[in-house]
Amino acid sequence: MKQETKRLYLENPYQVEFEARVADKMIWEKKPALILDQTCFYPESGGQPSDKGSINEVEVLKVLEDEARIIHLVAEDMPAGKVAGKIDWKTRFDHMQQHSGQHILSQSFHELLAAETLAFHLGESFSTLEMDLRKISEDEIEQIERRANEIVYEDREIKCYFVPEEKIESVPLRRPPKKKGLIRVVEVSDFDFSACGGTHVRRTGEIGLIKILRLERIRNNIRFEFICGARALEDYLRKSRIVRELSTRFTVSEEEVLNTVEKLSSDLKSQRRAGKKLQEKIAQYEAQEITQDAKEKIIKEVFVDKTLEEARYLALNIIKKGDFVVLFGQEGEERGHLILACSENLDIDMRELVPLVSPLIKGKGGGRPSLVEVAGEEKENLNQALNKAFEFVKKKIGPNL
């Protein structure tokens, strides 16, 4: 018969240190593993991660449940016999806050929207609740948060007790129990009754703030991200710092930050539009100037002070004038670009140039018959690539230009 582990955390989740006897040793998930006659370590289950801590000062890596046994995966093997264990209280209390907060949040959803809890997951930085809901308004979310936090302020007792399966009907459980036999009931006094084997605080006041962060739609349900207690305080500190800094930077009150950002972003958009128009105008003038002075119909140049977009505009404006071939290089910060274009009246397909010039700059590219672009790593070879393109174009249509 397999050794059953006595779960000390069920009786007293505030117990941090314990003594135990090693009942069995094994290798589990390629790590040395211990089964003790009793333990304070909560094993990964019911959406709650396992506790952290040590046994005989050796780090406990993971704690798992195998039916009635609890398996402790440890960093190194140790002799059998008596051991002393210690759980990390900070992690345990954090889990107690998140998990107890979840019961209250679930019941608040149930009370206000008759919504069932489908799944709960306690994560490293936030927890999630998947609810049987199709839609929810901003106001309803706030109502749920207000109700949940009201239960916190009332500092209600949270009791845990066992009820035999045949008598469980008398307990107004929020969800029917998944387990058989003796069922552990966690009661938030006169508010919520859940069948649960997790670790909870003694009174709701210990949970601290319960806050929903955001929601997403999943499997036709809604999943909420939430935080409680110390996590909620950290989140508030971080967010108030951001708002304070924004308000200082824009020299407006915190309430005005959002309006100010909206105005700035719309100003930026219209400035961008104006900038683009200006850029087009400049490209037109520049194209005019270049084509007027051009001694040759093939225009070849490498730019370092133009952006790729500016060079492209210029090329397009030049070929619009008819009878021109443009061979441009543009040196970006990390890569070099080639813009090879020709007026549509010319009988030349610029795509033929791509395999010729690409290897010279270790590049890749493509485009349409009148315009191709190649981007490559070796920007120092742009000139060489343009010379190659020049020769090709000259040979192909030189006499007609």
HSE at residue 51, side-chain half, CA atoms within 13 A, is 30
Give least dist CB 79 to Zn ion, A: 36
What letter does residue 374 receive in the DSSP assignment? E
Q: Which stretch binds Zn ion (CB under 5 A): 120-128, 141-149, 191-199, 314-322?
A: 191-199
Q: Cα 246 to the chain's mean position, in Å?
A: 23
Write down how long the chain is.
Answer: 401
Q: Which of residues 99 and 156 has its CB atom nearest to Zn ion in the complex?
A: 99
Euclidean distance between CA atoms 253 and 178, whole angstroms: 52
Q: Which of residues 205 and 366 has its CB atom nearest to Zn ion in the complex?
A: 205
Give the orientation angle of helix 257-293 with respect to helix 229-249, to 10 degrees.
50
Q: Which of residues 206 and 286 has its CB atom nearest to Zn ion in the complex?
A: 206
Give least dist CB 99 to Zn ion, A: 5
* x/- map, 245-274, Zn ion, by CB under 5 A: ------------------------------
Give least dist CB 201 to Zn ion, A: 11
Euclidean distance between CA atoms 178 and 132, whole angstroms: 18
Q: Does 101 bind Zn ion (CB under 5 A)?
A: no
Euclidean distance between CA atoms 358 and 122, whole angstroms: 52
Number of residues that bind Zn ion (CB under 5 A): 3
Q: Which of residues 53 and 198 has its CB atom nearest to Zn ion in the complex?
A: 198
Q: Which of residues 33 and 188 has its CB atom nearest to Zn ion in the complex?
A: 188
Q: Does 198 bind Zn ion (CB under 5 A)?
A: yes
Euclidean distance between CA atoms 197 and 185, whole angstroms: 8
Give the one residue of 196, 207, 341, 385 binding Zn ion; rule: CB under 5 A: 196
Give least dist CB 199 to Zn ion, A: 8
Q: Which stretch binds Zn ion (CB under 5 A): 7-15, 139-147, 198-206, 254-262?
A: 198-206
Joined together, the tokens standing for residue 66 give: 């195998």
Joined together, the tokens standing for residue 162 give: 């066992």
The residues, any chain, with a CB within 8 Å of residue 184's CB and separated by 6 or more, are 10, 160, 161, 162, 195, 196, 197
Q: Which of residues 45 and 383 has its CB atom nearest to Zn ion in the complex?
A: 45
Show contacts with Zn ion in window 24-43 (CB under 5 A): none
HSE at residue 267, side-chain half, CA atoms within 13 A, is 6
Show contacts with Zn ion in window 80-99 (CB under 5 A): 99
Q: Which of residues 161 and 236 has its CB atom nearest to Zn ion in the complex?
A: 161
The answer to whether residues 215 and 144 touch, using CB atoms and an 8 Å cutoff, is no
Joined together, the tokens standing for residue 220 give: 């036709």
Joined together, the tokens standing for residue 175 give: 């969800």
Give least dist CB 200 to Zn ion, A: 6
Q: Which of residues 65 and 352 has its CB atom nearest to Zn ion in the complex?
A: 65
DSSP string of 94-151, one letter each residue: HHHHHHHHHHHHHHHHHHHH-PPEEEEEE-SS-EEEEES-S---HHHHHHHHHHHHHH
Q: Residue 2 class from Cβ within 10 Å (0-12 exposed, 13-18 middle, 19+ buried)?
A: exposed
Give least dist CB 177 to Zn ion, A: 12
Joined together, the tokens standing for residue 9 give: 């955390």
Q: Does 53 bind Zn ion (CB under 5 A)?
A: no
Give least dist CB 41 to Zn ion, A: 17
The answer to whether residues 207 and 191 touch, using CB atoms and an 8 Å cutoff, is no
Q: Which of residues 117 and 317 has its CB atom nearest to Zn ion in the complex?
A: 117
Give least dist CB 104 to Zn ion, A: 10
Give least dist CB 156 to Zn ion, A: 15
Q: Which of residues 45 and 279 has its CB atom nearest to Zn ion in the complex?
A: 45
Q: Which stretch binds Zn ion (CB under 5 A): 86-94, 196-204, 282-290, 390-398?
A: 196-204
Give least dist CB 6 to Zn ion, A: 20
The residues binding Zn ion (CB under 5 A) are 99, 196, 198
